[in-house]
């Protein structure tokens, strides 16, 4: 279906100021226990799948400069300032009104080093052709404090107060967390400060685009210097939640839903501008994969190492799965998937890793196919499916697209014997990949009968050199960094053709 231009679309409806969230690297040494991405320090040779190389930075700048950006969030998984060159080039060269640099502040543990970093950021701002507000947003939490204490935040507040208080473009922000004691501890170092709470709903972090700070506090020091603190939720992200213990997942699910409702208008692919225009919300991974936020689907990847902005834009809209999200948001997507697989929706919200939402929800090929058919049915009903393109599809698919949801649902259930296990069987066998799959099966991540689970065990046992299992309950929970990395790569692997293109060029060593 992706080979055809099945549905009409108009990218111009989303030509307002857009947003880009970029991760330059997967590595970080801070080790916060709640880190979404369990970002670890680099231990082995670093490849282009782990962080940007020089060409990646060039292509990133080029991509951004065609995307009509109003706001760039340089963030992590991974500490952005380990990639200082990429950060400084973004600040100096990318056309946008606003750049927010989210950081642990580990580079500001020493005040002189922090001063040098800020001077380099200031020089990059001065090298720009157009004005742009650059905010250094330091995360402060009990997790960050295990290694860093509150020294980086205190050093930076003092430096901004003494050296940048009247800088028109370089600003400071604190990123604190709900029910976390560390922000008050930072404030205790600045006696006489005043706090002004923004009590209204949906305080935006920007004048041009709506980027909601869940709780926004203005801090004013006795010197008159002021900065903003934004207080966020802590997500219960976990790549291996136990879906059999749903009562333990309620809080995680609630936070995930609250975030989409309160901060994203239930549509994380669209950026609403304060003047009513609509732009797009892009997400760019350290491996160069780019998609609209929460919309990566692994059978239709784009990557800046080989895809230009116009290609990515058109391919994004041409894919009915993504187009339906852009136009209808997450509730629509969830309700259609839930018609056949409530478990896929539960898995999405329990894993609660927003960046990987599309991949998690559509991990099972039959669910992805069902959703594609259902959205095409809805587009057909509203006259959006292009007849001559429809005519080129195989008869069965055509009948389904012009047919009813009941028809699609019936076929989905008839295909119940095509499962995630069959998907894995179609690939080359790797014991560790299968062991990880068995662990997820044990945790209830997929709709499978006990016969199908036994079949998976038999398939694995007959091929593996690792430990064999008679029952699924025998599969252990593996601990440590290695499994986190494998499970992350399973969801967020670099577009294979882009990897082939770049792989011979080494990026660096740990």
Q: Which residues bind ligand SF4 (CB under 6 A)?
A: 28, 30-32, 35, 39, 76-79, 104, 144
Least distance CB 140 / ligand SF4 (angstroms): 11
3-state SS track over 292-331? ECCCCCCCCCCECCCCCHHHHHHHHHHCHHHHHHHHHHHH
Token code pair at residue 193 = 């400060």
Cβ proximity to ligand SF4, 96 vs 104, nearer residue: 104
Give exposure, 319-353, as e/b (b: 16+ Cβ within 10 Å).
bbbbbbbbbbbbebbbebbeebbebbbbbbbbbbb
Cβ proximity to ligand SF4, 28 vs 239, nearer residue: 28
Least distance CB 283 / ligand SF4 (angstroms): 16
Tell me the three state secondary structure of residue 333: helix
Least distance CB 510 / ligand SF4 (angstroms): 16
Cβ proximity to ligand SF4, 21 vs 125, nearer residue: 21
Token code pair at residue 326 = 């852009």
Least distance CB 253 / ligand SF4 (angstroms): 21
Q: Using CA atoms, how far apart are residues 231 and 174, in angstroms rounded to an integer?
A: 8
CA angle 178, 180, 184 (to 5 degrees): 105
Least distance CB 235 / ligand SF4 (angstroms): 11
Cβ proximity to ligand SF4, 77 vs 329, nearer residue: 77
Please report, for residues 244, 441, 453, 465, the alpha-carbon distance to residue 476 in angstroms, rounded to integers and kept in the order given: 16, 12, 16, 16
Least distance CB 284 / ligand SF4 (angstroms): 16
Cβ proximity to ligand SF4, 27 vs 380, nearer residue: 27
Cβ proximity to ligand SF4, 213 vs 421, nearer residue: 213
Q: How far apart are the first and last CA of the chain?
A: 43
Cβ proximity to ligand SF4, 181 vs 310, nearer residue: 181
Q: Using CA atoms, how far apart are residues 294 and 353, in angstroms rounded to an integer?
A: 9
Least distance CB 323 / ligand SF4 (angstroms): 32
Q: Using CA atoms, how far apart are residues 283 and 23, in angstroms rounded to an integer?
A: 8
Cβ proximity to ligand SF4, 27 vs 446, nearer residue: 27
Least distance CB 102 / ligand SF4 (angstroms): 8
Cβ proximity to ligand SF4, 7 vs 492, nearer residue: 492
Least distance CB 480 / ligand SF4 (angstroms): 16
Q: Using CA atoms, how far apart are residues 509 and 284, in angstroms rounded to an integer?
A: 23
Least distance CB 461 / ligand SF4 (angstroms): 37
Cβ proximity to ligand SF4, 56 vs 152, nearer residue: 152
CA angle 501, 502, 504 (to 5 degrees): 105
DSSP track, 419-445: -HHHHHHTSPP-HHHHHHHHHHHHTT-
Burial of residue 157, with CB atoms counted within 10 A of its CB: 0-12 exposed, 13-18 middle, 19 or more buried: buried
Cβ proximity to ligand SF4, 75 vs 301, nearer residue: 75
Q: Using CA atoms, how far apart are residues 92 and 73, in angstroms rounded to an integer?
A: 15
Strand partners, 98: 133
Reference 309, options 284, 330, 278; nearest CA is: 284
CB 48 within 8 A of CB 286: no
DSSP track, 166-189: T-SSEEEEEEEETT-SHHHHHHTT
Least distance CB 51 / ligand SF4 (angstroms): 13
């Amino acid at each position: 279906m992706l080979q055809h231009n099945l549905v009409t679309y108009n990218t111009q409806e989303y030509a307002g100021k857009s947003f880009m969230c970029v991760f330059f690297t997967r590595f970080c040494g801070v080790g916060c226990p709640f880190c979404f991405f369990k970002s670890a320090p680099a231990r082995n040779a670093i490849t282009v799948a782990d962080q940007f190389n020089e060409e990646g930075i060039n292509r990133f700048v080029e991509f951004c400069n065609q995307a009509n950006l109003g706001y760039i969030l340089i963030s992590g998984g991974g500490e952005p300032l380990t990639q200082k060159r990429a950060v400084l080039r973004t600040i100096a060269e990318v056309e946008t009104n606003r750049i927010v640099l989210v950081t642990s502040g580990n580079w500001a543990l020493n005040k002189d080093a922090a001063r040098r970093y800020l001077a380099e950021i200031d020089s990059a701002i001065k090298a720009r052709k157009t004005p742009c507000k650059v905010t250094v947003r330091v995360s402060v939490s009990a997790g960050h404090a295990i290694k860093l204490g509150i020294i980086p935040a205190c050093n930076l507040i003092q430096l901004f107060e003494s050296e940048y208080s009247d800088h028109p473009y370089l600003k400071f922000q604190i990123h604190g967390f709900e029910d976390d004691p560390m922000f008050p501890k930072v404030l205790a170092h600045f006696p006489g400060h005043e706090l002004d709470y923004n009590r209204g709903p949906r305080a935006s972090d920007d004048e041009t685009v709506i980027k909601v700070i869940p709780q926004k506090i203005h801090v004013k020091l006795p010197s008159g210097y002021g900065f903003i603190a934004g207080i966020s939720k802590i997500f219960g992200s976990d790549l291996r939640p136990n879906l059999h213990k749903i009562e333990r997942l309620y809080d995680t699910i609630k936070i995930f839903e609250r975030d989409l409702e309160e901060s994203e208008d239930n549509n994380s692919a669209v950026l609403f501008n304060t003047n009513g225009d609509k732009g797009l919300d892009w997400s760019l991974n350290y491996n160069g994969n780019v998609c609209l936020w929460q919309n990566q689907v692994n059978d239709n990847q784009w990557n800046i190492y080989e895809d230009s902005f116009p290609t990515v834009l058109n391919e994004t809209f041409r894919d009915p799965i993504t187009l339906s999200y852009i136009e209808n948001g997450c509730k629509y997507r969830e309700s259609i998937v839930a018609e056949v697989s409530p478990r896929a929706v539960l898995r999405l919200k329990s894993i609660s890793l927003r960046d990987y939402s599309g991949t998690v929800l559509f991990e099972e090929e039959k669910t992805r196919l069902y959703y594609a058919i259902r959205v095409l049915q809805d587009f057909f009903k509203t006259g959006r499916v292009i007849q001559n393109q429809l005519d080129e599809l195989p008869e069965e698919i055509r009948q389904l697209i012009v047919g009813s949801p009941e028809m699609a649902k019936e076929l989905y259930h008839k295909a119940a014997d095509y499962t995630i296990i069959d998907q894995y069987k179609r690939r080359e066998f790797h014991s560790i990949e299968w062991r990880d799959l068995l662990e997820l099966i044990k945790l209830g991540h997929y709709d499978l009968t006990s016969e199908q689970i036994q079949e998976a065990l038999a398939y694995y046992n007959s091929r593996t050199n690792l430990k064999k299992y008679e029952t699924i309950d025998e599969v252990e929970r593996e601990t440590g960094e290695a499994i986190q990395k494998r499970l992350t790569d399973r969801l967020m692997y670099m577009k294979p053709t882009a990897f082939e293109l770049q792989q011979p060029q080494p990026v660096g060593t740990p």
